[in-house]
Structure 1
Amino acid sequence: MSEPTGPRVGIISYCDRLRTNAHVNHELYARAHGYTYIFDIAPVAEPAQHKNFFLKLAKIKKFLPLFDWLFWIDDDAFFTGRKTTLTSFIEAHPDATIIFCASPKDTGLWTWMSSGTMLIRNTELGRKLIDATIATDLAKAREWWDDSVYGYWTGGDQDALVYQMMTNPDFAVDGFYAQLDYAAFNCRPRHFVAGGFEHFVLHFTGKDKGRQSLDFAEKWGMSEALTYKKELANLRGLYPADIPPRE
């Protein structure tokens, strides 16, 4: 493991049930670069006005004060290009408070932002963004939303983040956000044509995430955590996801 240098970077993820072995993948990536990884599966009360994906914001709010930068990664996303560092994106966008990717547009269903993988800076504005997003009136945000500009409305934290960044004057700061191409850290399985480690981050979408990850692993000769097989075999204390067999 390399010695940590530069900003204190944390990586956090959460789930209410194990669907994949992404938590093992995340930990191994974090170890390689001296980052702190927290897989916080403790129950959390949902914000009164929201359901579903807003739980991630509660986790971000909980851990953001411990770091200079926090990378949120969903439990259906994997680090598949371990040599790439998170600090490389931070250094490329030194003024940004939040760094995220757009989704790919090659299937016709796209979003201006993907909140499944994103970097958030621990500043007053960064913390204020999380609080404002949690407090968002989604009905008001939906009325404002323009599908032609921002893509598919998901009805979750992702849309609330976009709404706050675009309408809240507190965040009308030059360089407040950095929107990157999906290839930075939001690739899909179809983008891997030369091998399972071709891109930095693989993000599964749709249904049956556990089955998708196992099929990808089988295709490219990887472990179920989308790592090298021998590497995973040497670990102890792995709690495998309960993935149903193929029908």
Structure 2
Amino acid sequence: MFQKIIRRLALSTPNINSSTSIKPKILICSGSTQIRFPTAINHSVYAARHGYRYRFNINPYPNLPNFYYHKLATLLDGLNDCDWLFWLDDDAAFTQLDMSLESLVPEMQDPKIFAIYCKSPVNRGITTFLSSGNFLIRNCPDAVAFIQDCLATTGEQSKEFWSEEKYGPYWGPFDQEAMIHQLEHFPHRRSKYALLDYTRFNTRPFHFQNANDHFLVHFTYDPERSKRLQMIDFAEKYGLSEFLLPQEQSEPYAMYFPHIKNSIGEG
């Protein structure tokens, strides 16, 4: 049932050849191995507003080392269908619906750059070199080779390379550790990606005083509250729907509400 819902939520725009248009063809992509949070409607509303396509992927892939590598396999699937792919985790939601990615991230215009990440903020005294929760990646040979190499990166390789002083705690072997390893360990990649301040598109709930203070909100691990409860608290605090949108933006999707609630539960 929910797979059918997600397919209907995936919004498409006319297939305009990017060589004849200044505006890049952008795909917003999210997903997981299961439906965990009510964020697909939020992502869809934002994508539709800017003429982007949206895909939420729960397709299974064989022989992945762990749950987190599902993201990397999803990237390979999506890159051929766009000029730029903006990945955001299913525990993140857009909060500035009128801000386009092109306006927010002018670094996309640099032809040397194949990937754009944000640094991580300090959270409970901890920070990491970059966040793989939300990032941009260009459809180009450098990016494809990078993702393939990340998929082939073992936990032993990334851990042996790791410097906690430079990159933060080692949580892996996850996609983020594989990406940092591939970006930083190999000199030919170090000048080909951009690392921006976390305020660009990696802010947390505690950075907000108003619902639209930042471009998006990313809910991360909190030992005292689940991500689902963090979302509920954020929505109530700022008068948003449970789909992290102004109420009027959620209403056109009302037919999906009971199915989404049944799929994710309330915890």
Same fold (TM over 0.5): yes
Aligned to 2:233: 215
Match of 1:33 in 2: 50
Q: How far has the Cα of 1:106 moved from its partner?
A: 4.9
Displacement after TM superposition at 1:89 (Å): 4.6
The one-letter code matched in structure 2 to 1:55 is: H
Which 5+ residue runs of structure 1 have no aligned equivalent? none
For residues 48-78 of structure 1, what are the alpha-carbon distances to aligned partners after superposition, in whole Å with 9 as ceiling and x for unaligned? Answer: xx21211100000011011110011110000
Give matches, 1:75-90, under 5 Å: 75-90=90-105
Range moving further from structure 2, 82-91 or 180-189: 82-91
Output the amino acid matched with 2:51. Answer: G
Alignment match, 1:59: 74
Shift of 1:91: 2.8
SS in 2 for 1:19: coil
Q: Encode CA deviations 1:90-135: one digit per residue, 9 max, x unaligned.
A: 5334131100111102532111110010100011001000001111
Contact 1:114 1:158 in 2 (8 A): yes
8 Å contact from structure 1 (residues 210, 243) kept in 2: no
Root mean square deviation of aligned Cα: 2.0
Residue number among 46, 67, 84 corresponding to 1:69 in the alignment: 84
Alignment match, 2:144 = 127
Q: Is the 8 A contact 2:33 2:67 kept in 1?
A: no
Tell me if structure 1 keeps the 8 A contact 2:88–2:135.
Answer: yes
Matched with 2:260 is 240
Name the SS for the 2:80 alignment partner. helix
Cα distance in structure 2, aligned partners of 1:68 and 1:187: 25
* Corresponding residue number in structure 1 for 2:243: 225
User: Cα gap change, 1:73/1:22 in structure 2, threshold over 3 Å: closer, same or farther?
Assistant: same
Show the counterpart of 1:166. Answer: 184
Residue 194 of structure 2 corresponds to: 178
Shift of 1:19: 2.3
Q: CA–CA distance in 1 between the matches of 2:236 and 2:265?
A: 14
Closer, same or farther in 2 for the Cα pair 1:36/1:110, shift >3 Å?
same
Identical residues among aligned pairs (%): 35
In the comparison of the two structures, how many residue pairs are matched?
240
Rounded to whole Å, the distance in 2 between the matches of 1:120 and 1:92 is 11
Question: Bigger shift: 9-18 or 86-95?
Answer: 86-95
Q: Deviation string for 1:142-167 (max 9, x for gaps)?
A: 11211110112120110111111111
Higher relative contact order (CA 8 A, sep 6+): 1
How far apart are the structure 1 equivalents of 2:227 and 2:124?
18
- Give the alignment partner of residue 164 of structure 2, picking from 140, 144, 147: 147
* Paired position in structure 2 for 1:21: 38
User: C-alpha distance in 2, partners of 1:8/1:53?
Assistant: 26
Determine helix, strand or coil for the equivalent of 2:171: coil
Asked if the contact 2:33/2:70 (under 8 Å) is kept, the reply is no
The CA distance in 2 between the partners of 1:234 and 1:55, in whole Å, is: 31
**Structure 2: 5+ residue runs without aligned partners?**
1-10, 17-21
Q: Normalising by the residue count of structure 1, what TM-score does the alignment of the two structures yield?
A: 0.90
- Relative to 1, partners in 2 of residues 1:78 and 1:107: Cα closer, same or farther, differing over 3 Å? same
Q: Whole-Å Cα distance in 1 between the matches of residues 208 and 51 of structure 2?
A: 27
Higher helix share: 2
